[in-house]
Amino acid sequence: MYKLTNAQQLLLFQLSKPYHDGEKHHPKDAYNTRTVESLVKLKLIEEYHYNRFLHGAIRLTDEGKRTLMDL
């Protein structure tokens, strides 16, 4: 179990829900860069390429989903 800040916990929770109505992908640049990078480093989220977003998208990993259930 990781010790997560409130901002990190909030980001994990937001990634578990759709970004907007009908949009399941989350743009990387919509969130705080430091929070995103720290969660990527912990392997709780991953970055991936999505054509509609200039800076890519992020999503929960399996480890991130398990961590979210433990919160």
Q: Tell me what pLDDT residue 1 has.
A: 66
Is 52 among the domain residues?
Answer: yes
User: Which residue range is the domain that position 49 belongs to?
Assistant: 6-70
Is 1 among the domain residues?
Answer: no
Kindly report the pTM of this predicted structure. 0.88
Strand 45-48 vs strand 26-27: parallel, antiparallel, or unpaired?
A: unpaired
Q: What is the mean pLDDT of each run of 10 residues along the chain (71 residues)?
A: 90 91 86 95 95 91 94 84
Q: Tell me what pLDDT residue 19 has.
A: 86
> Strand order of the sheet with strand 26-27?
26-27, 57-60, 45-48
Is 20 among the domain residues?
Answer: yes
- Count of CB atoms situated within 10 Å of the CB of 30: 13
